[in-house]
Structure 1
Amino acid sequence: MKKNHTLFKGFLIILFVFFSISAIAQPYTDSVYRHEIKSVEFYNSAKPASFPIIPLNSSETVTLGFDNLAGGTLNYHYTIEHCDAEWNSSNISTAEYLKNYNDDRILNYSYSIATVQKYTHYELKLPNENIAPKIPGNYILKVYENSDPSKLVLTRKLYVVSPKINIAAELVPSNDNATRQTNQKVNFTLDYGSLRVQNPSRDVRTLIMQNNRPETGILNTQPTYIRGTQLIYSDVTINDFPAVNEFRHFDTRTLKLNSQGIQHIYRDTANSVLMLTDPDRNKPNYTLEYDLNGSYYVLNQDGTDPRNDADYAHMLFSLATTKQPNAGSPYIVGRFNDYKLDEHSKMTFDAGLGKYVNSIFLKQGVYDYAYVWVDRKGKTDITALEGSYFETENDYQVLVYYRPSGARWEELVGYKMLNSLKK
């Protein structure tokens, strides 16, 4: 009996270790871990809402900004950690990828001015004299409380590139007749020049994303064919993306009058904005609309500095569709919520209205958003409520990673941005 008890305890310990390791090994994502943290922006400092990539050892920086709705002043620290192409930790010493210090405190903050919702705005620029990357690659930026990494506040993906590979890429119509009217295909060629590439399918990996939208990412490992130092990726079956549709958008740069997408604004002890009902857009024909490819800008045309004088409002969304609640649920997503499908982005069906509804607390600005359908089995469909049309204007990020035989980490050695309308 005692022997069986000991074996059972040993089994439990093995299970605990296994699940602990599994939890630690989860890839990093753009995430917010505290409900009071809002309006996280992370971009190349040269242009708000831009892709957060910088060249190694250059004068370029990225800017992080976020609000704490609890107000006051908290002791936030941050660091960056080197990762591979799939956002798993590289598991190397900080001395190998960081200059100067391992972590630092965020000292730049300001309090909201004349807003209904009080908050404290924090801001950070990287690299700086305390925290700077030493090698190229993917880095996860981690912000946490009281110098305790276990008290995570938010994480953000940072890309540091050292260009060593030439990229030639183009967008072409889908090779499949069934998807020619709905998809966009990326073909590309890499020229690695003098780099030591012994096994291209192992040493070089290329990630392609549409509009910096994580769930669209396709990781290429096997070239279609090789010509000298050129790796050519043009197989008819690869990198064929649903073009989806232009993003929906609304404008709350002022809360004094109705603007695009808004039905009514209520201003009292809290700001509430009733949006116009959104239709199901999975229709036969494409309609041109100008969008931000999923991004958003914090703006306030009635103030002087939206970082601390833009207010917050409860945005009341509604969606009209024939899809039934017993078949699944729609979710509202965009860069503003990291495209997360969770309880905050889930729409609920209001039987009285005959519509799906949701309320999201957002800072003033210009926002893009879209609806994603998730069926009862958990299958996600980004085109079910938006449609998909090859005419849609999209940005594509092409990121090339290099890890030669024997290397202990993966480097980002190439980056190219494509636009479906710009040749």
Structure 2
Amino acid sequence: MQKILFLILFFIPTLAHAQTDKTFIHENKIYQPNIKTVLCYNSSREQSLPVIQLNTLETITFSFDDLLAGTKNYWYSIEHCTSDWQPSKISTIDYLGGFNDDRIINYRYSSNTTRKYTHYELSLPNTQIQPKIGGNYLLKVYLDGDKNQPVISQRFYIVDHQVAVAAEVTNSMQVMERNSKQKINFTINHTMPIPNPYQDLKAMVMQNFNSNTLQINTRPSFIRPNQLVYNDLTTNDFWGNNEFRKFDTRSLRYKADNVKDIYRDNESVNVLLFQDAPRNTGAFANQYDENGNFYIKNTDGRDDKTESEYMGVLFTLNATAPDTSGDAYVIGRFNNYTLGKENKLLYDAGRKQFYASIMLKQGLYDYEYAWFNNDTKTLETQPFEGSFFQTENTYQIFVYYRRPGARWETLVGYANISNKAEDRR
């Protein structure tokens, strides 16, 4: 028991000094180690995708926690981006109404928690900042009104609906991969003139809102009156992967799904998960998951946002390394499927075990294990999770259009579909 506690406490992430990076990058990123649990979603449903329609009452909810507690002077601004998340290089007058930036004034202190923190929150559009055009947007949070002190960058989408997208999920057309891959066919229906769809229109497809899976479509297979068809035999194939693993820490009074032990004292809360095994052999086993999502929940208290504990969660994977050149990671929407020191798994060759401890906020989490090959620079879950056509996944399709002579791309269409016929927006 003491050895287990030592391992847990040894690998609990610690707060460090802020990074010296002085510039924002155009992706979801946390620049300060004291910032945790960044959430960004359509306000109509918790942890939905951060997609809203232009000129409607829909809003984006954005929030985060500062583990240094107290009160800080956080400011934010938004920037219009191209379909591939580069700066659009247009004036803020072209895409913003109101002001260019504003201070985050909505914050609350944690209560009844072992670790103290401050919860910050805002919604967009608001009375100060109103986007005027559709497209990709980057939300930038920085300290003391100084953009050279970056804190968070977060992507979100505003759709100016001008086209309709119809899509279906089917087996891969490649015979050898029909049992392991899923293929997306879709059609863009439009009434507006599109003189050159090969040049002016792009469609991006991704799986489970994971940007690592993104596929770009620039050439429709067929062009029909008011219709563009994308069903080429060799495009938009995705690994089916497997259902996500999950654990439940909505209550710390008892051990729920996949929780082996809970240790707490006056200074910390630590959760030990059951050891995981590879799932890359054998038949597909159907189970309900949230397609990589996570939810901050606390059934022991009254307020999920300020009464949920921060925990050190110990992951253990009993598996051999797929090869000698690579690293394993635990990923999900809780970390934007990104690779970092915090979610990198350490390998014990003697025990043939991978393990890592990650600081997470109390709730319900989906996760999976992935292998990054340092030689090919590819990230794959198949070595640990396998891949099956039967796996339930959601797919997001974003359609961008640049009108002839226009200086920016507009997000004119969006669809979110599931191979189980369930829209999980």
Runs of 4+ off more than 4 Å: 23-27
Q: Distance in 2 between matches of 1:376 and 1:64?
A: 34
AA aligned opposite 1:246 = E
User: What corresponds to 2:11 in structure 1?
Assistant: none
Q: Distance in 2 between matches of 1:166 and 1:110?
A: 41
Moved more, 346-355 or 328-337: 346-355
TM-score of the aligned structures, taking structure 2 as reference length: 0.91
Give aligned-pair identity as a percent.
44
Q: Secondary structure at the match of 1:50?
A: coil
**Cα 1:183–1:25 shift into 2, 3 Å:** farther
User: What corresponds to 1:54 in structure 2?
Assistant: 52
User: What corresponds to 2:8 in structure 1?
Assistant: none
Q: Distance in 2 between matches of 1:325 and 1:208?
A: 30
- Shift in Å at residue 372 of structure 1? 0.7
User: What corresponds to 1:260 in structure 2?
Assistant: 257
Does residue 1:220 correspond to 2:217, yes or no? yes
- Shift in Å at residue 24 of structure 1? 11
AA aligned opposite 1:403 = R
CA contact (8 A) 1:400 1:414 kept: yes
TM-score of the aligned structures, taking structure 1 as reference length: 0.92
**Cα 1:135–1:24 shift into 2, 3 Å:** farther
- Counting only pairs closer than 5 Å after superposition, residues 17-416 of structure 1 correspond to structure 2 as 28-193=26-191, 195-268=192-265, 269-323=267-321, 326-351=324-349, 353-377=351-375, 378-416=377-415
AA aligned opposite 1:35 = P
User: What corresponds to 1:11 in structure 2?
Assistant: none
Q: Distance in 2 between matches of 1:147 and 1:25?
A: 14
Deviations 1:374-423 (A, max 9, x none): 12423322222111111111111111101022110000101111101117
**Cα 1:311–1:325 shift into 2, 3 Å:** farther
Q: Distance in 2 between matches of 1:371 and 1:225?
A: 38
- Shift in Å at residue 351 of structure 1? 4.3
Q: Distance in 2 between matches of 1:237 and 1:299?
A: 42
Q: Distance in 2 between matches of 1:342 and 1:325?
A: 20
Q: Distance in 1 between matches of 2:43 and 2:27?
A: 21
**Cα 1:26–1:243 shift into 2, 3 Å:** farther
**Cα 1:352–1:267 shift into 2, 3 Å:** farther
Q: Secondary structure at the match of 1:96?
A: helix
Deviations 1:128-180 (A, max 9, x none): 01011011111111111111112111111111011111212111111111111
Q: Distance in 2 between matches of 1:308 and 1:26?
A: 28
CA contact (8 A) 1:196 1:404 kept: no
Deviations 1:235-259 (A, max 9, x none): 0001011111111110011112111
- Shift in Å at residue 197 of structure 1? 1.5
- Structure 2 unmatched runs, 5+: 1-20
Deviations 1:324-359 (A, max 9, x none): 673422101111111111211110112464311101
**Cα 1:98–1:420 shift into 2, 3 Å:** same
Q: Secondary structure at the match of 2:87?
A: coil
Larger radius of gyration: 1
- Shift in Å at residue 191 of structure 1? 2.1
Q: Distance in 1 between matches of 2:389 and 2:323?
A: 30
Q: Distance in 1 between matches of 2:307 and 2:177?
A: 47
User: What corresponds to 2:12 in structure 1?
Assistant: none
CA contact (8 A) 2:204 2:214 kept: yes
- Shift in Å at residue 80 of structure 1? 0.8
Q: Secondary structure at the match of 1:390?
A: coil
Q: Secondary structure at the match of 1:216?
A: strand
AA aligned opposite 1:237 = T
CA contact (8 A) 1:25 1:88 kept: no
- Shift in Å at residue 27 of structure 1? 6.3
AA aligned opposite 2:289 = D
Q: Distance in 1 between matches of 2:350 and 2:320?
A: 15
Q: Distance in 1 between matches of 2:133 and 2:373?
A: 43
Q: Secondary structure at the match of 1:217?
A: strand
CA contact (8 A) 1:27 1:86 kept: no
Aligned length: 400
CA contact (8 A) 2:79 2:138 kept: yes
User: What corresponds to 2:10 in structure 1?
Assistant: none
User: What corresponds to 2:3 in structure 1?
Assistant: none
AA aligned opposite 1:289 = Q
Computed over aligned residues only, the root mean square deviation of the Cα atoms, in angstroms, reads: 1.6
- Shift in Å at residue 44 of structure 1? 0.3
AA aligned opposite 1:100 = G
CA contact (8 A) 2:76 2:142 kept: yes
Q: Distance in 2 between matches of 1:69 and 1:184?
A: 41
Q: Secondary structure at the match of 1:326?
A: coil
Q: Secondary structure at the match of 1:215?
A: strand
Q: Distance in 1 between matches of 2:167 and 2:23?
A: 33
Q: Distance in 2 between matches of 1:47 and 1:55?
A: 14
CA contact (8 A) 1:326 1:376 kept: no
AA aligned opposite 1:326 = T
AA aligned opposite 1:202 = Q
User: What corresponds to 2:15 in structure 1?
Assistant: none
